[in-house]
Structure 1
Amino acid sequence: MTDLPVFTRSQLALRNGQDKPQIWVAYKGIIYDVTESRLWRNGKHYEHWAGQDLTEELADAPHTAVVFEKFVAVGKLG
């Protein structure tokens, strides 16, 4: 994953399911494309919003970080 492009928090924020067609979230510095997930439709997943770093919010989730293995890593948060 060292050859992934680096995106700023501002660039990540645009991939929120509203401003651009992509829906991205970050976890531990890696950005994942969750566009195809029906659980992220319109950029919202329960009380969480796309286009953000969800590292700290994962502690409140009913699942573990293993869930990110289902998604393609598209970049690093810089």
Structure 2
Amino acid sequence: MRVYTKQQLALRNGQDRPEIWVAFRGIIYDVGSSRLWKNGKHYEHWAGQDLTEELADAPHTEKVFEKFTAIGQLE
């Protein structure tokens, strides 16, 4: 799996580039296919970030990431 820096992940925010990616526990996922991530925003969360710490406040579990394609690792 390709390794990306936090800076490279930050560019995949749905604004600077068409990709909409987020990281969770060191794995980067493409969430662009989700209507809930339209324009790179999901409620108060923005794409292009590591959301590991944010999950504790989410109404869902980490299983939500199973529906998305893992495309890389966060450096």
- Who is 1:29 aligned against? 26
Task: Give TM-score, length-normalised by structure 2.
Answer: 0.99
- Who is 1:71 aligned against? 68
Q: 1:52 aligns with which of 43, 49, 64?
A: 49
Aligned length: 75
Task: Give TM-score, length-normalised by structure 1.
Answer: 0.96
Q: Distance in 1 between matches of 2:32 and 2:19?
A: 6
- Identity of paired residues, percent? 76
| Unaligned ranges ≥5, structure 1 | none
Deviation at 1:24, TM superposition (A): 0.0
Moved over 6 A (4+): none
Q: Distance in 1 between matches of 2:60 and 2:33?
A: 19
Provide Cα deviations, 1:30-53, integer angstroms capped at 9, x if missing partner.
000001100000000000000000
Q: Distance in 2 between matches of 1:38 and 1:67?
A: 14
1:18 is the counterpart of 2:52? no
| Unaligned ranges ≥5, structure 2 | none
